[in-house]
Amino acid sequence: MTVHSSVPSLPWRTRPECTSASLDDSTLNTIDAWWRAANYLSVGQIYLMDNPLLRSPLRFENVKPRLLGHWGTTPGLNFLYAHLNRAIAERAQPAIYVTGPGHGGPGLVANAYLEGTYTETYSHITQDEEGLRKLFTQFSFPGGIPSHVAPETPGSIHEGGELGYALSHAYGAAFDNPDQLVVAVVGDGEAETGPLATSWHSNKFLHPVQDGVVLPVLHLNGYKIANPTLLARIPQEELEALMRGYGHHPYFFTGGFDGEEPAEFHRRFAELLDTVLDEIATIRAQAAANPQMPRPAWPMIVLRTPKGWTGPKEIDGKRTEGSWRSHQVPLASARDTEAHLGDLDAWLRSYRAEELFDETGRLREEIAALAPQGELRMSANPHTNGGLVLRDLRLPDWRDFGVDVQVPGAPITEATRELGSFLREVIRLNPDNFRIFGPDETASNRLQNVYEVTDKQWNAEYLPTDDDDHLAPTGRVMEMLSEHQCQGWLEGYLLTGRHGVMSSYEAFIHIIDSMFNQHAKWLKVTNDIPWRRPVASLNYLLSSHVWRQDHNGFSHQDPGFIDHVVNKKADIIRVYLPPDTNTLLATYHHLLDSRQFVNVVVAGKQPAPDFLSIDEAAKHTARGLGIWEWAGSEVAGEEPDVVLACAGDVPTLEVLAAADLLRRHIPDLKVRVVNVVDLMRLQDEREHPHGLSHRSFDTLFTTDKPVIFAYHGYPSLIHELTYRRTGHANLHVRGFKEEGTTTTPFDMVMRNDLDRYRLVMDVIDRVPGLTARYAPLRQDMEDRRLEARDYTRVHGEDIPVVRDWVWPDAGDLVEQSAVDAAVATGGDNA
């Protein structure tokens, strides 16, 4: 069953009288003037800090002392922007401009300024000569703005400094955005990256009516930093075959070579752009009339222009325009040598600024008229400031999906399966505002209950077999076996004002480490930009985790994404390790309602005991951590002898089993059990918004008693989070220490010394007075470890005393819940 969204009236239409005659000389001259103005402002930003309109001879002191920025890709981006403005205004077509070559930052700032959006956003950057001076000075300058298409740039959703994600972000922006044209410029250097090569396949997931349209523009300017680019050095026939193989209808344009007059290449490109946009409008009209229409070959443009177009032809006797030498700052000594200063002066004056700006320094009205009006300006599109269009999710009550826990340890359930039921209702209530993204792992991670109300969106070929179950042209689940693609889609979806979740195996989420970096940095910066409105949080669900990848082996065993995440700004990062189903549900209900965070949740998918009732889980999750009095053996009014702490579902199970052993074998030992759901609660309150005060931390963990901490990931992180604490020297952490293989679940924890027997030995070793008194018990624990390991080598499964262990008094209920689960799942708990 598929949840379909309502589709508003669409703005898509062909252009009336799309002939060369309609592109009169006046229109083409205006396009050229806009392009020259954008290029002039771009060069000015890189080089100048004064004399912005060259009212006086250019001098060394007018040039910035540090020349930073990138020129090479910028004029091509400005060229496309100018032509899009004409088309957008004529068609009243909302559009988003995504630039993979993020080094074109000066161009996007220049166009936002020319459209007036920059001044509306930053009132001190006025539309006059003084405003131009400030615009130039601030670029790549202390206290100013970055050189990339950064969050500070109106209209941006994609910084582009790290290459490879322009198309993924563009398609994410287009999903459920039927009015929007997303123009995605792919740099030819970027096109060599793996993620970008994969993202061409996004067109197989785009619905031609429910979603917007992505227009890829492959910008071939021939060079990277110091080398030629591959796609610029293969025959056009081969490149055309490649693009057609990806499912596109490619259009080719070459401009800026062989001395062609601007009026001619502007006319040729304007006609090509009209042809492409008319084709898009026709495809959408046909798809609306015929829902069974085969997947269309969406048009794309291959735009070939010289690198550093309109810049100096040569510098110091070496070719510059059309060469890698124009990539960054072609005249690096403009502040130091007369020759370079003279070249810069000639370069700037070649744009004839006196024809572009009036005596006050304002863009002339006839040129400014090229820009669309209001929100049709690409730099003012509200979807590029996603919080402006963000609608709150309608969330069901998570308690309706909770499990009935009558005693701790029962029943046995699959936490993520129950979460799937909750997410099913989230989808039902939000049919056009929420999606689940993941690399072919929705069902593997036990979220398949969502398929009761939705399908996986798929617009490639179907086979008439039940193997293609739950594939449909529209759906709320997006699966492609590329973590890069899923992450990029989700980021674009969130940044344009929607909500989503990404599900992945824990070990392989590392594939998008650097993408997470960029998104976290974006959120950090936008927190300090008042006009940027908060967007929905990026929510991860990491399942198939390190302790339950015993069947796949060492390659699948890595909990290190948490370590990577917590190094980012504390205002952005949240990490949760729910110990059971009800805490997972309570956690995710909270996260889906949050803004401006990256929320990482690690939860197992295998059958596991539940410890907290619905009400207990609600309180425990709200606190983030707490004492489980029922699990410990401390005496009211007295300090404990030892604290057993745990974070993560498997560590929690082992701590409870250890507490049970201690209760039976050392009955007079006062044990406190502390469970941690919100990992950031361990930090000092001065370092993280969720951090505990020292008083609160000491109340839970004491200042002088041994703390044995069983942790889901690498032990060093717990020490990093708690190093300021008074009792840190008493803290002993057990976790994953890079010991893994294909083995049994309990052998896996034993390999890493996280097992219950080792935890009991740690208590004996660290609580004063126990070592001598309980030496026989310690030896018994060692023997049990050996027995458990030997049993696996003979029988291929864990020893029954471990495999069948349950919390005391939960036995009968656990047995019944296991039967119920087997009936519900058909016995499939693989």
Residue 638: Cβ-neighbour burial (10 angstroms; 0-12, 13-18, 19+): exposed
For 34, 107, 159, 362, 468, the CA distances from 357, given in Å and listed in that order, are 11, 17, 29, 5, 60
Rounded CA separation 578/305 (Å): 54
Rounded CA separation 426/99 (Å): 33
Residue 723: how many CA atoms within 13 Å on its side-chain side?
Answer: 7
Q: 3-class SS at 801?
A: helix
For 331, 589, 658, the CA distances from 691, given in Å and listed in that order, are 50, 21, 28
Domains 398-602 and 624-798 agree in fold: yes
| Residues 20-384, CATH architecture | 3-Layer(aba) Sandwich (3.40)
- Low-confidence residues of the chain: pLDDT under 70: 1-10, 16-22, 811-830
What are the backbone angles phi and psi of residue 67, rounded to the nearest 5°? -95, 110
How many angstroms separate the most distant Cα atoms in the chain? 100
Beta bridge partners of 182: 96, 214
| Residues 398-602, CATH architecture | 3-Layer(aba) Sandwich (3.40)
Could you tell me the two tokens for 456? Answer: 């996986």
Radius of gyration of the CA atoms of the chain, in A: 31
For 342, 415, 417, 423, the CA distances from 453, given in Å and listed in that order, are 67, 20, 15, 10
Rounded CA separation 203/247 (Å): 7
Q: 3-class SS at 676?
A: strand
Give the pLDDT score at 11.
73
Place of tokens 């294909």: 742
Could you tell me the two tokens for 618? Answer: 């609600």
Which of these, 289, 277, 299, lies nearest to 209 by C-alpha position? 289
The answer to whether the CB of 753 falls within 8 A of the CB of 765 is no
Rounded CA separation 108/100 (Å): 12
Could you tell me the two tokens for 696? Answer: 């609160």
Q: Which CATH fold would you assign to the domain 624-798?
A: Rossmann fold (3.40.50)
Give the pLDDT score at 12.
78
Residue 572: Cβ-neighbour burial (10 angstroms; 0-12, 13-18, 19+): buried
Give the pLDDT score at 326.
87
Give the pLDDT score at 813.
63
Alpha helix segments (H runs only) across 532-580: 561-566
Give the pLDDT score at 239.
98
Spell out the domain ranges in the chain.
Answer: 20-384, 398-602, 624-798
Residue 236 CB neighbour total at 10 angstroms = 12
The answer to whether the CB of 701 falls within 8 A of the CB of 645 is yes
Could you tell me the two tokens for 337? Answer: 């040598």
Strands 298-304 and 213-220: parallel
Report the b/e string of 281-310 with b at 16+ CB within 10 A: bebbbebeeeeeeebbbbbbbbbbbbbbbb
The answer to whether the CB of 708 falls within 8 A of the CB of 656 is no
